[in-house]
Structure 1
Amino acid sequence: MALKIDTQKLNTVSPKDTLTFLSKIRLGIFGKQKPDGFTRIVFFLNVLGFFIFICWAAISYVAIALNDLIQKSKQISVEEIVIKRGEELGFEKGEVFLENFKQFQFLDIFIWLALFCGLVFLYRKKSIYALFYFGAFILHFLLMFYLLGMDYIFQDISMFDKIAYAVMLLPTLLYFFLLKKEKTDEINYDE
């Protein structure tokens, strides 16, 4: 018994059928039209910062959550290190700083994901990006201040992180004003 294959269907494959799953996701998120060069530069600078900071938050959270495993295999207690650093920053002796740090890292993952949503809107040149982007940054710093304190902000945020924040925020702030001007110019031109 021979297997019968309908070759006519195979010969009529359309370009839409050849798109991979990742290509479909990319098109769904970023659209078909590429924005101008400055928008892409701002976007890619921010994506780089996004990956650095979300990886840091995820790794920190996982390291604290898997403290027992790390302690068994490497004889290093991540919890003790974090608690000791909390005491150096002026927190009461105990696990208050540890719980705050763990909670901050967990929530920070979602804050960075919200920032990425803002970056998708930025890439598509939608003004709503500012709500997600700047809202996520404000929430990030407010949570850091509320849960970890001002001493943490001044002493434990490295110079690399401060420069990365500046590289992300300053061009994006400039982009916000340029996009706003571009949108008002389009409205005035249409009238």
Structure 2
Amino acid sequence: MGSTPEGRESGARDRDSEGRARNARPRDGLGRPLPYDAQGVDRQPEGLVRTPPETVAEAQALLDAGKPFHAHEVFEDAWKSGPDEERTLWRGLAQLAVGLTHAARGNTTGGSRLLRRGAGAIEEWVAHTGRKRPHDLDLPGLARWARTLADDVEHGVTVDAGARAPGLRRA
């Protein structure tokens, strides 16, 4: 077997310090893996517990910078660390970010499906809780944005992640 630039055996799985599989390859702004020796975009630290306003602000900054994959990681942390009653909300927001990621990568089917799935999740959460603007989030506006973008993606519109980033809060 050959070696990578870092001396890893090719074909060996990347592992973290606890032995869990982790892809250590650098990633581009849309989260796509790059060769080990390439310069990638800094990844979001995993497992951070943020307040909801910190989560929303960090995710919005990443979305505005055209990094929806990284925003999805921020939402995923909130989904995993937040209160049980908000998990569906944060998971839906993560799905919106991943849907935008896939749409920007040119994955029409995956992008539109995830955008619609995320919109459905946040609409379900609103219907269940009656809360349309938790943490100053514009959930009805986000659901409309996601469904409009899904329609555009299905009709062959090329997506620039930064240009099509949603505003998470009501303007």
Same fold per superposition (TM over 0.5): no
TM-score range with shorter-chain normalisation?
0.3 to 0.5
Could you state the TM-score of these two structures normalised by the residue count of structure 1?
0.39
TM-score in terms of structure 2 length = 0.42
Higher share in helix: 1
- Ranked by relative contact order (alpha carbons within 8 Å, sequence separation 6 or more), the top structure is 1
